[in-house]
């Protein structure tokens, strides 16, 4: 899913955000966290403010 978004240069913010929402619930798993970070890096160029929010969401869930 993440690879497809990036390879096709998909800029559909709703699709990207739904994917990030899904991945966030599984970031306790190292592979899922890697995908989450990769998609955040891609999304940063599209919407840095929203991406910063997703970084904060991760920190709230996993860094506390």
Long-range contacts of 12-21 (CB under 8 A, 24+ apart): 13/46, 13/47, 13/50, 16/42, 16/43, 16/46, 17/50, 17/54, 20/54
Q: Is the pLDDT of residue 64 over 80?
A: no
Query: What's the confidence (pLDDT) of residue 18?
Result: 99
Domain spans of the chain, in order of start: 2-62
CA distance linking residue 2 with residue 20, whole number of Å: 9
pTM as predicted: 0.94
Q: Are 20 and 54 in contact (CB under 8 A)?
A: yes
25-30: average pLDDT: 97
Q: Over the stretch 30-62, which tens digit does the pLDDT of each residue have? A: 999 999 999 999 999 999 999 999 999 999 999
């Amino acid at each position: 899913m993440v690879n497809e978004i990036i390879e096709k240069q998909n800029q559909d913010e709703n699709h990207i955000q739904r994917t990030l929402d899904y991945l966030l619930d599984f970031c306790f798993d190292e592979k899922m966290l890697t995908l989450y970070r990769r998609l955040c890096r891609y999304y940063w160029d599209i919407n840095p403010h929203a991406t910063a929010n997703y970084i904060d969401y991760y920190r709230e869930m996993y860094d506390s």
